[in-house]
Structure 1
Amino acid sequence: MVLTAILEIVDLKGVLIFVVAFLLVADFLKNRNPSNYPPSPFSLPLVGNIFHMDSKEPHIYLTKLGHAYNNIFSLRLGRDKVVILTGYKMVKEALVTQAENFVDRPYSPLQARAYSGNAGLFFSNGQMWKKQRRFALSTLRNFGLGKKTMERAICEESSFLLDEMDRQKGAAFDPTILFNNAVSNIICQMVFGQRFEYTDHCFKLMLKYISKCIQLEGSIWGQKPHDPTDGFDEQNLVACALDLFLAGTETTSTSLSWSLIYLITNPEIQEKVQEEIDRVIGQLREPSIADRANMPYTDAVIHEILRLGDIVPLNGLRVAEKDTTLGECFIPKGTAVLPILHSVLFDENEWETPNKFNPEHFLDKEGKFVRREAFMPFSAGKRVCLGEQLARMEFFLFFVSLFRKFCFSAGDGEKLNLDGVIGVTRTPHPFKIHAMAR
């Protein structure tokens, strides 16, 4: 009896050892990298590098790894592999120089559940993406993008925003919700043909769900004849409208929040911005997008807010359409690639003081505005944000309107948190400010 029990235990251990050994060997053979594949830090069998990731600041962790691996390396996250690209030159190589090869997105379980297949503007690929992006850009232009009608709509919404701030009578308040309301109303006017009052229950509920969608994504890494694959149907229209709201509301409103934080933290810069606004625009007329050419310092401050604000630090995944090389590494067809925008906006080889709020990054010695190639907050290449022109117009007009009317400050003895909360976007921690009419 005793001998039988011992043999059974030995046999069980043997089976377990065999199973574990088999799984390890199978895992190794399945996940072997081809020759000259991007290097990788040590990974555990089966789970890979999942436990190495910094969930609170993944953009910083990945950028630091890029320094150690010459700006290109690979990670294994469970059964999936992804090649990480960091630094301006490497990211530009993929997104601009090899734009055609890295234009598509890889399969995403989140996308499949939220969009029911190849749909929308952000996750779609191939003919669907080309047709829908072209249609979206054309429709935005028809609705006033780049025209005086859109500029007037933004200025009108600015007046509603300023009135709401004025009602605070100098008391401390959180401006985030007001920014969400104001910026979202611009998209509402384009998509629905109307704006909503800030107190409207359905409007507030919609904005709440949009913010929730952003958080959830970040928590897990007229009738015309047409081809059905073009996506001109009601289901895809809803998906495209969702993408417009997600991209067109959260990013610009978050940028406005960062603008208050940075200029309150740097009051001397706030004063210089207001001096330029008073000199160029004054208080007798509304700001115009044409004023930007005459306001180099304000334009530089806005660009520095977008750089240091680092609104979309991780970008979106791409997939290689065919075998290629990046740097000196081989990238097989079908490889998922993640270009880290944070690493570009903070590239020490491109920015004189990457970790400091410094508008001089965008000014020459004569004080004229200078464009920088490494300025990529809207990504680059064929997937560059299609709302970039609208976002730039909105940000400039809202920003100038705010600082023309108010002086912003924190409460006595309070220090605003310059760290961000990472989801799909990098948002400020909750904060309150004072707005005193000038």
Structure 2
Amino acid sequence: MNIILVGIFFITFFFYLINQIKRPSKFPPGPIWFPIVGNQVQLRILSKSLGGLHLALSYLSQKYKTGVLGLKLGKEYIVSVSGYPLIKEVFTREEFEGRPENFFFKMRSFGRLKSGITGTDGIGWSVHRSFVLRHFCSMGFGKTPMDAMVKNEIEEVLQILKNSRSNIRLSKLFAPAILNILWTLVAGKRIARDDLFLDEMLDLLSKRGKMFNVTGGVLNQFPWIRYIAPKWSGFRLIEYINGKLKKMISTTIEEHHDTWEEGRDDDLIYSYISEIKKSKNNPIFCDEELVVVCFDMFIAGSQITSGSLDLLFFMMTQYPEVQKKVQEEIDTKIGRESYIEYADVKRLPYTYAVLMEVLRYSHVAPIAGPRRVMRDTTLEGYFLPKGTTVLLDFHTMHYTQEKWSSPETFKPERFLNEKGEFSTPENFLPFGLGRRRCLGEVLAKHCLFYFFVEVMRKYSVVMAPESEAISHLLLGITLTPENYKATFLER
């Protein structure tokens, strides 16, 4: 009897292992995966040796000669898509508009799946996205009122540089400014730079960004590991960050409830409370959802836009000849004291080309936010089962030799036509495309332009002496320069 039971066990285990490594019929090509872990170990090793997950995916796509690479991480089917035509197709097809329903996205939304804007899909996402855009437009999003907020933050940055121009850590210079622009739109107030809470949050968010990648890492694939190694897996850090942020956001929402009155809509929270009161029986609008919406804004401001500014000025320290050309254009077309508005982009084509080339050459987010296949479908003839996670490889798209001449070279001129006018190549999609196009694209472009021009026309930036040897990017959910310091020389 015991022998029979043991035999049944081993047969069952054998078929379990076979099922674990079996690829679905017509699933995209890629490396073989192993029971339980899938390609997790292989990707970690490749990412570390090549310099990032985006480079590991690019390497595997080239090795298997495919723009649709099939992988498995734990139980999750993963497909990495590269090349402009395929990425554009994913961006514009409805069945690819979902977000993964996994442990990492649940943690990100304070334990709520399908919540907020960034981490959800379907009706909830559509309603919240429309609501936020409508509110921002009413507050002058992309117009003079928003520009005034941006310029107020720039004035503070310029004052900081005036008082101390040596050994400036740029990650500490721009992140509070960008976050405060968004927080003013969301909560109607700024967080003072000398507020220890602000400094702590920026440090914690930076650590969060370095500990994980867009797949969510080991913690996402094996949530049970949080019970065995809560610190190593990043679970303890996520819990701590979420606790701090949720308390701050919830306290702000409570203060708004106490001071709310009908018709008040001078910030996002007041407008949302009005919507809650109008839609008492609509579960889409509630305080729990509002917390996640505010968190979405917080994350976007502290990482993507500020990280792009950090990279922008880092690149100016690496290419002083480009910096000089930018300053000459600004001096000639605008001057050092004239009032600047966003329409001046057209008068500064080379300067704007530099901004876009930085987004291409050193993209903060080389892999777009993951998508979830919402129903069984095909891509390039391959079968993608419902629930498959899709990663969009921006890095490969922006480094394709056939589309970009000498892609490894930093060359702003690639964004200028023969008349010297700014021209956007068709295959350049730093903010995505389609209905899930980046919600903060307008704000990001305005911030990048204003901060860059205002600083460049007053200062030249060089690497601080102790930072001169630094030349690589730190890996994580986003890519950022190593914590370097810069010196600003008054012009």
Q: Same fold (TM over 0.5)?
A: yes
> What pairs up with 1:223-302 in 2 under 5 angstroms?
223-225=277-279, 228-230=282-284, 232-302=285-355
Contact 1:410 1:416 in 2 (8 A): no
What SS class does the counterpart of residue 202 from structure 1 fall into?
helix
What SS class does the counterpart of residue 337 from structure 1 fall into?
strand
Aligned mates of 2:208, 2:414 — CA distance in 1? 34
Give 2:68's match in structure 1, choosing from 72, 76, 80. 72
What SS class does the counterpart of residue 315 from structure 1 fall into?
strand
Greater Rg over alpha carbons, structure: 1
The alignment's TM-score, normalised by the length of structure 1, stands at 0.91
Aligned mates of 1:216, 1:101 — CA distance in 2? 30
Q: Report % sequence identity.
A: 32
The letter for the 2-side match of 1:137 is L
Aligned mates of 2:153, 2:339 — CA distance in 1? 12
Question: Would you say 1:202 and 2:197 are equivalent positions?
Answer: yes
> What pairs up with 1:167-182 in 2 under 5 angstroms?
167-168=163-164, 170-182=165-177
Give 2:40's match in structure 1, choosing from 39, 43, 50. 50
The letter for the 1-side match of 2:314 is I
Task: Identify the range of structure 1 (34-43 vs 402-411) with the bigger mean alpha-carbon deviation.
Answer: 34-43
- 1:390 is matched with 443
- 1:129 is matched with 125
The letter for the 1-side match of 2:339 is E
Question: Would you say 1:120 and 2:116 are equivalent positions?
Answer: yes
The letter for the 2-side match of 1:75 is L
Question: Would you say 1:81 and 2:111 are equivalent positions?
Answer: no
String of CA shifts for 1:186-215, please: whole Å, max 9, x gaps: 112111212233212233233334334434
- 2:433 is matched with 380
String of CA shifts for 1:195-245, please: whole Å, max 9, x gaps: 233212233233334334434553833121265342x11111110111011
Aligned mates of 1:209, 1:165 — CA distance in 2? 25
Task: Identify the range of structure 1 (192-201 vs 244-253) with the bigger mean alpha-carbon deviation.
Answer: 192-201
- 1:344 is matched with 397
Aligned mates of 1:310, 1:153 — CA distance in 2? 26
What SS class does the counterpart of residue 369 from structure 2 fall into?
coil
Displacement of 1:55: 4.0
The alignment's TM-score, normalised by the length of structure 2, stands at 0.81
Aligned mates of 1:349, 1:19 — CA distance in 2? 54
Aligned mates of 1:354, 1:248 — CA distance in 2? 29
Give 2:147's match in structure 1, choosing from 118, 141, 151. 151
Aligned mates of 2:167, 2:466 — CA distance in 1? 13
- 1:41 is matched with 31
Aligned mates of 1:280, 1:20 — CA distance in 2? 77
What SS class does the counterpart of residue 489 from structure 2 fall into?
strand
Question: Would you say 1:320 and 2:373 are equivalent positions?
Answer: yes
Contact 1:87 1:343 in 2 (8 A): yes
- Runs of 4+ aligned structure 1 residues displaced above 4 Å come to 17-21
The letter for the 2-side match of 1:352 is S
- 1:110 is matched with 104
Contact 2:99 2:371 in 1 (8 A): yes
The letter for the 2-side match of 1:196 is I
Displacement of 1:136: 1.0
Task: Classify 1:374/1:229 alpha carbon distance in 2 versus 1 (closer, same or farther; 3 Å).
Answer: farther
Displacement of 1:322: 2.5
Aligned mates of 2:294, 2:466 — CA distance in 1? 43
Aligned mates of 2:451, 2:376 — CA distance in 1? 45
String of CA shifts for 1:284-325, please: whole Å, max 9, x gaps: 223211110111000100001111121112222212223322
- 2:22 is matched with 32
Aligned mates of 1:347, 1:253 — CA distance in 2? 27
Task: Classify 1:217/1:154 alpha carbon distance in 2 versus 1 (closer, same or farther; 3 Å).
Answer: same
Structure 2 unaligned spans of 5+: 218-273
How many residue pairs match? The answer is: 423
Displacement of 1:21: 5.1
Superposed CA RMSD in Å reads: 2.2
What SS class does the counterpart of residue 457 from structure 2 fall into?
helix
Contact 2:20 2:34 in 1 (8 A): no
Task: Classify 1:410/1:143 alpha carbon distance in 2 versus 1 (closer, same or farther; 3 Å).
Answer: same
Task: Identify the range of structure 1 (63-72 vs 303-312) with the bigger mean alpha-carbon deviation.
Answer: 63-72
Contact 1:341 1:379 in 2 (8 A): no
Aligned mates of 1:208, 1:333 — CA distance in 2? 37
- 2:239 is matched with none
